[in-house]
Amino acid sequence: MEPSFSAKNPQTSKFLEPGYSEASMAEIDAALKAAEESFDILRGLQREERARLLDSMADEVMGLGDGLLERAHLETGLPMGRLTMERGRAVNQCRMFADILRDGSWVDARIDQAQPQREPVPKPDIRKMLRPIGPVVVFGASNFPLAISVFGSDTVSAMGAGCPVVVKAHPAHPGTCELLGEAIRRALEKLGLPGGCFSLIHGTGNTVGKALVEHPATQAVAFTGSLKGGRALMDVASKRQNPIPVYAEMGSSNPVFILPGALKDRYEQIAEGFVQSLTLGVGQFCTNPGLVAGLDNSEFGDFREKVASLAREWSPASMLHSGISQNYSSGLSKIAAVSGVEVLGKSEQAPDPSKTEAICQVFSTTIETFLNEAALSEENFGPSSVLLTGKDAESLEKFAESLEGQLTATIHATDDDLTAHRRLIQILERKVGRLIINGYPTGLEVCSAMHHGGPYPAASHSFFTSVGTDSILRFVRPVSYQGFPQSLLPDELKDENPLSIWRTVDNQLTRDPI
């Protein structure tokens, strides 16, 4: 088949070799049938074997060396230093999942022993644990070509759970995807596992993605991207004869609240940290702080002027690809067109369109204007933010109440501020997946306590996270075993606890055998 598309270097606007072909319906069908045929083998692996697979995948990715980083740099424009750090994050999270597989307690084993003498009805022996669901389709993100893509948290957590994976490569960095896909395939080959455990599919339009979601073998979908894209996949999945879950992380505006005491103590430091967070990675993070709210007083005025000054000093930089750049520019125009909004500050240096560059731009308006203009609540993916002023604490609370679901919210405050604005915290707890005090939303820690999700439209399921160890829970379901003989039970549920995992036995957490 002749190549139908190529990656483009965003810093030069030149196409990169080689070309890639759209997957045919036959190729999509073959990949998912192979995944289905491999499912019993992958889920049947002992925990150490599956952990070895993840470790081998990490080793193979590191074995790609600088060639991986150089290709990712050419396709995304991201600096080599940033890509080196991102590769470290991707490899470390893969090894983190290998560690939790070795521990084994993540399966949440529960045992309620039989009580044959119980009156009026005997109690049966019932045991429960989490089991893998089957083939998973993963849509990688454009802004994390290494850590939330082919080798990202979706793929490694799904395969760690025992689910074969079919990844739709992101068309903006197909060469990077191919390198990572080959690393995963080599890891499977070294362990003698079937190739159907992992497949990589290319496609630029909606047809390939729709076919992947509609295929009867697909049991779940993981997606990171825009609200429009995530919602489209959710709609396709819901119309199937057997609907399946789409775990979509779709971004948010990540509001920042700056309370009076904090402004009085350190407005300059807060302004500097905010602009650094706003412009990090050219603002191309789902946790980018796109809204800032404070009370209309002299300290917030000083903060606004400092932010404006820093925005003017920021030099334009290349975005990931022309589509993101065009959407960002359109978003700036849309915000500027709202009556009552003024441009507070923007990069003084003009951007170079041939390098897909973006400027930093901050706007200013009132909370009252925000509440009456729906356009201001929409995420503008890039280094822009809207600063909002309110008259009193009640106006901050009204702003918080008006928010749709968000990935994060941040509060800069003193202890006295937090006491005086406790109601604000209570409101935000209902709105977000992660609430931050005196920090910034960018710089996502990959750990067991992280929740990267939130109420719709930040994510499709507010209970689930796409980052951290709990992300594996998206690809399993609970199964109860009633009245099973010991010989047929999974090792995790046998009386002797041969794996020595933590289990809940008759409502008591223990590692002891029964």
244 and 388 share one domain:
no
Q: Given the structure tokens 């039989």, which residue do they identify?
A: 114
Q: What H or E segment, with its residue span, contains residue 476?
A: strand 476-482
179 and 309 share one domain:
no
Q: Residue 30's closest CA among 231, 164, 133? A: 164
285 and 351 share one domain:
yes
| C-alpha separations of 120 from 102, 115, 117, 123, 375 in Å | 42, 11, 9, 10, 62
- Domain annotation covers residue 2: no
CATH number of the CATH domain containing 212: 3.40.605.10
- Domain annotation covers residue 13: no
pTM for the full predicted model: 0.95
**Which parts of the chain register pLDDT below 50?**
none
In the listed set 437, 452, 485, which residue is the last one of a domain according to the structure? 437
Mind listing the pLDDT tens digit for each residue in 173-195?
Answer: 999 999 999 999 999 999 999 99
- Domain annotation covers residue 511: no
Burial class (CB in 10 A: 0-12, 13-18, 19+), 118: exposed
What is the rounded distance in angstroms from the CA atom of residue 473 to the CA atom of residue 259?
37
What is the rounded distance in angstroms from the CA atom of residue 177 to the CA atom of residue 186?
14
CATH number of the CATH domain containing 328: 3.40.309.10
- Domain annotation covers residue 481: no
Query: How many other CB atoms sit within 10 Å of the CB of residue 122?
Result: 10
- Domain annotation covers residue 5: no
166 and 214 share one domain:
yes
Residue 205 is predicted with a pLDDT of 85
52 and 164 share one domain:
yes
149 and 290 share one domain:
no
- Domain annotation covers residue 84: yes
169 and 279 share one domain:
no
Query: How many other CB atoms sit within 10 Å of the CB of residue 513?
Result: 12
126 and 197 share one domain:
yes
Mind listing the pLDDT tens digit for each residue in 330-367?
Answer: 999 999 999 999 999 999 999 999 999 999 999 999 99
Q: Can you read off the two tokens belonging to residue 449?
A: 């306590």
- Domain annotation covers residue 245: yes
- Give the distance from CA 102 to its chain's centroid: 24
What is the rounded distance in angstroms from the CA atom of residue 486 to the CA atom of residue 182?
41
Q: Which amino acids are annotated catalytic? A: 249, 286
Residues written for the chain: 514
- Report the domain count for the chain: 2
234 and 98 share one domain:
yes
Residue 2 is predicted with a pLDDT of 65
Domain range spanning residue 141? 23-250+465-475
Residues β-bridged to residue 258: 294, 412
223 and 307 share one domain:
no
232 and 291 share one domain:
no
158 and 239 share one domain:
yes
- Domain annotation covers residue 497: no
Query: What's 82-133 look like in SS3?
Result: HHHHHHHHHHHHHHHHHHHHHHCHHHCCEEECCECCCCCCCECCEEEEEEEC
